[in-house]
Structure 1
């Protein structure tokens, strides 16, 4: 934990909490859209944030795409935003690598578009003799790729992951995410990642605060996952809102040790308090 002021364990003062929020950190998959479809009321919610003099930024663990792809996707869906509005676990991982492994050769288990973002930022990607292993949400996964990454992990190389999510929500259900890949690697190489960058971990949230310049105590993390989105807020000095439009259900929230400050059916329901 940092040196920020601890927030209340439970607080149902919706109007009071939201009145003090200046920045909304919004998860994407399962929170504002599913696939190529906006969750009902999400577009109006984004406009209401801006109309109320507040701001928002998209904060996603999904590293199967780079930030530019998200900007283009949102444009196809009718929302024009700049790169400054999108913060990804891939970007946070690049930041971490530059800080702690500058100039090191990296084997990246990830999609081509993420590899392009890494290389554009000066990360040296290699297929042989890497010095660091990075695993991301690779939707082009092959058995040959899995054999290679397991070999490198088994060698004892530093092993970094972009995020921990087990599943990614889609319009038709859930698909295995990088957490499932980690389970495969562990079964073969007997190691889990040494460092996981994305939500709920501090590296991602520190990167968010640095990028936005936001005050933690006036920032709320809004998402559909208890173990990533809500824990990210709880563990790092931000407010947290769980929406029930994606992965987590009310039953999950009731049974979880990680408790959101507030719960809404969807972001649409938040609008009345802005």
Structure 2
């Protein structure tokens, strides 16, 4: 059954104490707030609830997001940002402790891994990690395909095919996976970001929240909403980014609630 847009008949939002918010396409596009997003954040605070930003975008580190939101007029702390890069570091430390990693990622992600104590190695790695690398070059693609072809464990920060921007969409990590598969005939062995339970468990632990009282809000069915409904959270779709109602009709993933944008959630808080 498909939820009615902009309606919360069962009063689900009244029981939500924390909103885990996707960023691109959910609260902003580029450096422009989606209409009413700031009002929504203020309404959450007025209701005595909290919010954290949970993003699959591993091309930026948490400090970069804090600075970006600061430029947009919102002051928050690092504790309110959770990225797929952070969750991937936690996954590596648990499952591949001390292993040398080839990381396909921006300089910011590389710095984040190094600061967390992950050993990066471009020549003799033991594990491959693919992120959203906007500094991608053909030489990098050749190198990562070589390592994947060799059979090294192959992880990725997240599965998103496209990243929304103010002027449309740009290829994201999922598109890089497709390139690698076309050459090396492998998709990632494991993906840490949404909709994986890894990042959602990491979120609950980091934010100190109960899954049953937390809503995952985003504009993608296959990452944001799936992360919510498959991992014990309330999954809420907003139609301000990638997915539309036709996608909902065709998808196996059904949101618990659907809103035109986060602004339309305000009356139900």
- Cα distance in 2 between the residues matched to 1:97 and 1:257: 30
- Cα distance in 2 between the residues matched to 1:242 and 1:114: 28
Displaced runs of 4 or more, over 2 A: 8-15
Residue 241 in 1 paired to residue 236 in 2? yes
Deviations 1:245-272 (A, max 9, x none): 0000111112211100111100010011
2:80 alignment partner, one of 60, 82, 85 = 85
Equivalent position of 2:64 in the other structure: 69
- Cα distance in 2 between the residues matched to 1:233 and 1:191: 27
Deviations 1:30-64 (A, max 9, x none): 00000000001101110110110000000000001
TM-score, normalising length: structure 2: 0.97
Deviations 1:1-23 (A, max 9, x none): xxxxxxx9969644610000001
Gaps of 5+ in 2: none
Equivalent position of 2:247 in the other structure: 252
Equivalent position of 1:143 in the other structure: 138
Contact 2:3 2:258 in 1 (8 A): no
Contact 1:15 1:273 in 2 (8 A): no
- Cα distance in 2 between the residues matched to 1:210 and 1:114: 22
- Cα distance in 2 between the residues matched to 1:223 and 1:100: 28
- Cα distance in 1 between the residues matched to 2:16 and 2:229: 15
Deviations 1:114-156 (A, max 9, x none): 1001100000111110000000000000000000000000010
- Cα distance in 2 between the residues matched to 1:96 and 1:73: 26
Aligned-residue Cα RMSD (Å) equals 1.3
- Cα distance in 2 between the residues matched to 1:15 and 1:46: 22
Residue 200 in 1 paired to residue 195 in 2? yes
- Cα distance in 2 between the residues matched to 1:9 and 1:217: 21
Q: How many residues align?
A: 267
Gaps of 5+ in 1: 1-7
Residue 120 in 1 paired to residue 115 in 2? yes
Equivalent position of 2:183 in the other structure: 188
1:59 alignment partner, one of 54, 62, 66 = 54
Residue 102 in 1 paired to residue 97 in 2? yes
